[in-house]
């Protein structure tokens, strides 16, 4: 209360979830005079943690806790508020404590909605809301390996729960009352494409089918889920994730206004019907809506912090909640899903441009104005590369044609992006907020921008645009743009490569301790893993290196649609003996694998369970095969025609050269995958000019072409040198590859590397041929070391019992195969069970 001479005001925050935590942090950052004395009362024993990343607690044992408040904040946990006395301005906790306030903020969040169906209180029925919920779920599933379960709700959190249950070894079904998955974020086409992905991973989806009730099994716990269509699903575990309900019981109990369907009614400043009480987050009903996303909740916290500071300074608060950007991007079970703006074409006259590819599992839709110039919204499933650009341009004129933008042909904007564009929807940070922070605070890196504006600190999907804005501001100010690999390393990938090479560092831990900060991320860890492998640091699954790898490298195989893996033995130059062909056929037959000849003259074997991989490779290794590195950022293949040995037009032995190149560069780890080809004459049957390094025979020797690639953005390779003999050809390729590995950025193909290289192909000739940098001897020696040290990764793995321990479907049930993997016959082979879909189509109307 206000008393003459009082220097501090008392703020009580009820609820210590993300919104409550954000309010306290925002107020402490701005309240330089310390005018507020803050008490936070949380219901859970744990302090605030990141609910957005809840599933990673189960799947990765991630640490979710938010940073602790400073010591001036009083935090009471595990003692929920049970009553509010507005007249006395006090709150009472479950332990009987009475705490007075001058201002009260309710941040009580929401509770999972559990439909009032028969059996909802049976043992084995859970919700998916807190860490305690997840611990209970894990304990229950751990006692029932291979059990069947049901998630009720096919929204975002429901699919996260299904992913977590599947990871715990549960054969999982998803029941969604709407006709398609994620109906609040996706349109029907996007929802159906997502369903294809989800079911390809072994989950079963029941959409448009409400649940009728739960039935007990023989042990008295839940055992069966009845559906409204008369069918039923056997289930020993059920998780409800069918929406949320605002926690407004405290507001009701003290007479605050609440909405007809729940939620504490607040104005656009988040003030309730009592001027001394505010409400933020999922408990608040603002503008007739309750928001369940982190972005709007954070915005409410910022609004209230502004008004509370105004109370102590005598300046009227100006902040107001002006709605929220509900755009979202996430990766569900390895599937990119995004929606932005208005994904349902609700604007009069809006047009939609739709692209569907059921084979690749891609669905893209843009909603544009009737003149096709202004972006209104859209949906992306299976490929969300263009999301940062698209979200930034919602409500603005597209930077290119809709087709260019849809397929990532327009780079994320920097300096020309409208100032009011919301870059970080989670924290409501605009382009101008970032620009002003960079200029006013002299920021030079993404970490600084994150710390100053909080952009990119939640879901992280806006970080590429944040980097673009930062770089544009630095360039405009005449400041050299940082080439830092990520916020944990100030150095570029090329600089880190040299640090590791010169110092002899062999572990990520030592590198980040001596030359970085923090614990690393999914950007720097795989990049450093690649550097260590390129410099011959032992087997990639040895010790700490195993934890740095991408998913495919962790199992030395490419994961496919339904959670199985592909097996790709190396076939140098495409040349193979009948005996080896027979072995591949026998392995495919005995393990029931799908077989296909690849475009790189190899044989792919698809459909292997993770637990089958070691035995498959044991047989292949015994027959003389080795890893084809189809899973790695390494040399894939060296394709060839039959050359002068068989072809009447051939002028050189292209097969022999292709085999020589492939055996020389096999296992060579690089910033990105490498492909090559050798053609025996100018007819170019091996398509060498579309490869990272390509060789074409001439009457006098070989022509060498560098830095080409196929794919979505094909590039013709540049002619580097002509009429080379064998040894000179190899020497130039050696130096090219080692110079690329030493200087390229992470995940940068040779084509984009050469385009970014100042001086281009001419500069490359100076380095490789003329030795302008004086490093050719080093590059030659580095390649010699690689060739001498090569060892087949799969042979080493099957000979090491410790490495083999990772090849199980379920860690808690090593001998149990994954029951969710299913196939059906097609053309006398297997294929993953998928829903039927339309043919490839592009629709514009």
Q: Residues at the annotated binding site for siroheme?
A: 685
CB 108 within 8 A of CB 14: yes
DSSP conformational letter for 774: S
Q: For residue 733, give both structure tokens.
A: 């390729």
User: What DSSP designation does 8 have?
Assistant: -
Annotated binding site for [4Fe-4S] cluster: 641, 647, 681, 685
- Which residues participate in the annotated binding site? 641, 647, 681, 685
The phi and psi torsions of 99 (rounded to 5 degrees) equal: -125, 125
Burial class of 668 by CB neighbour count within 10 A (0 to 12, 13 to 18, 19+): buried
CA angle (39, 45, 51) in 5-degree steps: 90
- Cα–chain center distance at 227: 34
At 714, phi and psi to the nearest 5?
A: -65, 150
Give residues with Cβ within 8 angstroms of 363, minimum separation 6. 189, 190, 192, 193, 354, 355, 356, 357, 379, 380, 381, 382
In three-state form (DSSP H/G/I as H, E/B as E, the rest C), the secondary structure along 620-677 is HHHCCCCECCCCCCEEEEEEECCHHHHCCCCCCCHHHHHHHHHHHHCCCECCCCEEEE
Task: Measure the CA–CA gap between 559 and 566, rounded to whole angstroms.
Answer: 7
Question: CA angle at residue 792 from 526 to 749, to 5 degrees?
Answer: 40
Question: Comparing C-alpha atoms, which of 578, 610, 607 is closest to residue 595?
Answer: 607
Rounded distance between C-alpha atoms, residue 840 and residue 472, angstroms: 39
61 φ/ψ sector (left φ>0, alpha ψ -120 to 50, else beta): left
Strand partners, 831: 824
Q: Is 636 left (phi over 0), alpha (psi -120 to 50) or beta?
A: alpha
CB atoms inside a 10 Å sphere around CB 304: 31
Return the SS3 of 556: coil
SS3 for 571?
coil
Sign of CA dihedral 80, 83, 86, 87: negative
Residue in 379, 389, 362, 377 with CA at minimum distance from that of residue 461: 389
Assign 658 to helix, strand or coil. Answer: helix
Between CA 521 and CA 484 the distance in angstroms is 13
| Cβ contacts of 346 within 8 Å, gap of 6 or more | none
Instruction: Please state, in angstroms and rounded to a whole number, the distance separating the CA atoms of residues 488 and 140.
Output: 38
Q: Measured at the alpha carbon of residue 809, what is the angle toward residues 808 and 810, in degrees to the nearest 5?
A: 95
What's the first-to-final CA gap in the chain, in angstroms? 62
Torsion of CA 523, 524, 529, 533, to 10 degrees: 100
In 10 A of CB 507, how many CB atoms? 16
Residues in the chain: 845
Query: Which residues have a Cβ under 8 Å from the Cβ of 552 and sit 6 or more positions away?
Result: 558, 559, 631, 632
The first and second tokens of residue 82, run together, are: 């049970």
Q: Do the Cβ atoms of 449 and 456 come closer than 8 Å?
A: yes
Residue 505 in 3-state DSSP? coil
Asked if residues 401 and 440 have their Cβ atoms less than 8 Å apart, the reply is no
In angstroms, the Cα distances linking 168 to 162, 163, 446, 478, 818 are 10, 9, 36, 53, 11
Distance of CA 301 to the CA centre of its chain: 27
Task: Give the pair of three-digit tokens for residue 53.
Answer: 């990343």
Integer angstrom CA distances of residue 190 from 178, 180, 203, 708, 842: 13, 9, 18, 34, 14
């Amino acid at each position: 209360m206000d008393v003459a001479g009082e220097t501090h005001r008392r703020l009580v925050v009820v609820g210590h979830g993300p919104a409550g935590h954000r309010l306290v942090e925002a107020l402490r950052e701005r309240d330089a005079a310390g005018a507020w004395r803050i008490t936070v009362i949380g219901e859970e024993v744990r302090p605030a943690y990141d609910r957005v990343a809840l599933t990673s607690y189960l799947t990765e044992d991630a640490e979710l806790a938010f940073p602790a408040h400073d010591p001036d904040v009083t935090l009471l946990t595990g003692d929920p508020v049970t009553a509010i006395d507005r007249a006395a301005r006090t709150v009472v906790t479950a332990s009987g404590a009475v705490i007075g306030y001058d201002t009260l903020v309710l941040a009580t969040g929401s509770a999972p909605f559990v439909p009032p169906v028969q059996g909802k209180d049976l043992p084995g029925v859970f919700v998916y809301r807190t860490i305690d919920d997840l611990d209970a779920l894990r304990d229950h599933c751990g006692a029932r390996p291979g059990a069947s379960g049901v998630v009720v709700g096919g929204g975002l959190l429901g699919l996260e729960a299904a992913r977590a249950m599947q990871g715990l070894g549960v054969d999982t079904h998803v029941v969604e009352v709407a006709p398609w998955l994620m109906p609040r974020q996706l349109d029907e086409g996007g929802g159906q494409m997502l369903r294809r992905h989800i079911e390809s991973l072994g989950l079963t989806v029941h959409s448009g089918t409400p649940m009728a009730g739960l039935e007990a099994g023989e042990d008295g716990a839940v055992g069966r889920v009845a559906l409204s269509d008369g069918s039923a699903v056997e289930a020993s575990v059920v998780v409800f994730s069918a929406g949320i309900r605002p926690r407004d019981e405290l507001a009701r109990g003290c007479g605050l206004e609440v909405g007809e369907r729940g939620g504490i009614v607040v104005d656009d400043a988040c003030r309730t019907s009592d001027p001394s009480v505010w409400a933020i987050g999922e408990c608040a009903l603002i503008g007739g809506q309750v928001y369940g996303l982190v972005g709007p909740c954070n915005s409410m916290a910022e609004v209230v912090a502004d008004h509370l500071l105004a109370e102590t300074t005598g300046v009227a608060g100006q902040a107001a909640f002006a709605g929220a950007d509900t755009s979202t991007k996430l990766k569900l079970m390895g599937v990119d899903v995004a929606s932005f703006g208005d994904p349902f074409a609700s604007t009069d006259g809006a047009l939609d441009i739709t692209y569907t590819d059921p084979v690749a599992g891609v669905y893209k839709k843009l909603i544009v104005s009737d003149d096709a110039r202004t972006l209104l919204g859209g949906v992306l499933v299976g490929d969300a590369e263009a999301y940062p650009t698209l979200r930034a341009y919602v409500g603005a004129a597209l930077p290119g044609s809709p087709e260019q933008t849809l397929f990532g042909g327009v780079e994320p904007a920097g300096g020309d992006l409208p100032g009011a564009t919301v870059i970080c929807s989670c924290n409501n940070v605009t382009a101008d907020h970032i620009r002003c922070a960079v200029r006013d605070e002299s920021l030079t890196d993404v970490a600084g921008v994150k710390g100053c504006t909080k952009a990119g600190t939640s879901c992280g999907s806006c970080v590429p645009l944040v980097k673009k804005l930062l770089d544009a501001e630095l360039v405009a100010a005449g400041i050299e743009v940082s080439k830092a690999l990520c916020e944990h390393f100030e150095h570029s990938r090329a600089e880190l490569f040299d640090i590791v090479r010169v110092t002899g560092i062999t572990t990520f831990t030592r590198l980040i301790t001596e030359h970085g900060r923090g614990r690393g991320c999914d950007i720097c860890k795989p990049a450093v893993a690649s550097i260590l492998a390129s410099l011959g640091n032992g087997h990639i699954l040895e010790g700490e290196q195993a934890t740095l790898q991408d998913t495919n490298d962790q199992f030395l195989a490419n994961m496919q649609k339904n959670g199985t893996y592909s097996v790709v033995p190396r076939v140098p130059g495409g040349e193979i003996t009948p005996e080896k062909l027979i072995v591949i056929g026998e392995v495919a037959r005995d393990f029931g694998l799908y077989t296909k000849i690849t475009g790189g003259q190899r044989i792919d074997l698809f459909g292997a369970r993770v637990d089958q991989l070691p035995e498959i490779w044991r047989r292949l290794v015994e027959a003389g095969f080795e890893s084809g590195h189809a899973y790695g950022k390494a040399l894939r293949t060296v394709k060839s025609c039959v050359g002068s040995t068989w072809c009447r037009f051939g002028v050189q032995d292209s097969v022999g050269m292709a085999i020589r190149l492939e055996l020389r560069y096999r296992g060579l780890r690089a910033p990105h995958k490498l492909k090559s080809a050798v053609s025996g004459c100018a007819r170019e049957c091996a398509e060498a000019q579309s490869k990272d390094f390509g060789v074409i025979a001439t009457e006098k020797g070989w022509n060498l072409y560098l830095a080409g690639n196929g794919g979505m953005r094909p590039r013709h390779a540049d002619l580097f040198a002509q009429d080379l003999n064998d040894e000179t050809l190899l020497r130039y390729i050696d130096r090219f590859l080692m110079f690329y590995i030493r200087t390229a950025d992470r995940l940068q193909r040779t084509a984009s590397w050469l385009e970014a290289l100042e001086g281009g192909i001419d500069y490359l000739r100076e380095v490789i041929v003329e030795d302008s940098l004086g490093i050719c001897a080093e590059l030659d020696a580095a390649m010699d070391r690689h060739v001498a040290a090569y060892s087949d990764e799969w042979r080493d793995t099957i000979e090491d019992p410790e490495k083999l321990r990772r090849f199980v479907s379920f860690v808690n049930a090593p001998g149990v195969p994954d029951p969710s993997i299913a196939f059906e016959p097609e053309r006398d082979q297997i294929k993953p069970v998928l829903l039927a879909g339309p043919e490839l189509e592009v629709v514009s109307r």
